[in-house]
Amino acid sequence: MTRVLVVRAAGTNCDRETAHAFAAVGGNPETRHVNELLAEPALLREYRILVFPGGFSYGDDIAAGRVFATELRQRAVPEIERLVADGGLVLGICNGFQVLVKTGLLPGGEGQVVTLAHNDSHRYQDEWVPLHVATDKSFLAKGERFLFPIAHAEGKLVASDETLDRLEENGQLVLRYARNPNGSLRDVAGMCDRTGRILGLMPHPERHLEPWHHPTWTRNGLAAEPDGLRFFQQAIAAVS
């Protein structure tokens, strides 16, 4: 089975749900504290997928994901890049996306050129949002549609027009909101690096694993395949 490493830190609160999601689609997930990875970055060589789940790492005391990102950048980034070069996947969900942006792993190759700023509403938002896959750069299929919940206060993707033009041309602006909840520029809900093997997104696919997770299941019936299962199945397939 595909081995998956879910890395948590103080304040992470979606690690168990994320591990459960990978187990539900046939993966073999293991959760470890970030200190274990920092002490021995080479342990990544035992895994095919690395995941930074959602939550509020280190309380977002400086900015969302920044402390976690600083730790990784100093010790673990070379091994993360090796994992990607060997055909593995790196996934960051919500706070994990913020971490990947602040390490410079996303969009990659040029330091931190995008950020995730406070929502236009100036408040924490927890709601279901429709989104679609805009490119075929990542392991997701272009044109595919998902419905996932968001749960964040700093989810507005911000970058210069020049940077966004370049990322769009490269196909790196993978996920777009059909209804933009936070003011994210160009409706970006998620992006990948230039290899397509590192993907970050603000919505939570691990919160739509069961048919009754869907907010309208009592009116419209139970879906045969929840959107989150499809998402994680494709991640596993990409490294199998």
Q: Can you say whether the dihedral through the CA atoms of 226, 28, 239, 90 is positive or negative?
A: positive
71 is a catalytic site residue: no
- Would you give the end-to-end CA distance of the chain in angstroms? 9
Say if residues 200 and 100 touch (Cβ distance below 8 Å). yes
Largest CA distance in the chain: 50
Annotated catalytic residue, options 71, 118, 152, 204: 204
Instruction: Tokens for 64, please give them.
Output: 């969302």
Given 17, 71, 79, 94, the catalytic residue: 94
- 85 sits in the region (left: phi over 0; alpha: psi -120 to 50; else beta) called alpha
Q: Where are the alpha helices (DSSP H) in the chain?
A: 15-24, 34-39, 66-75, 77-85, 95-103, 161-169, 217-220, 227-239
Among 17, 71, 154, 206, the active-site one is 206
94 is a catalytic site residue: yes
- Which residues carry out catalysis? 94, 204, 206
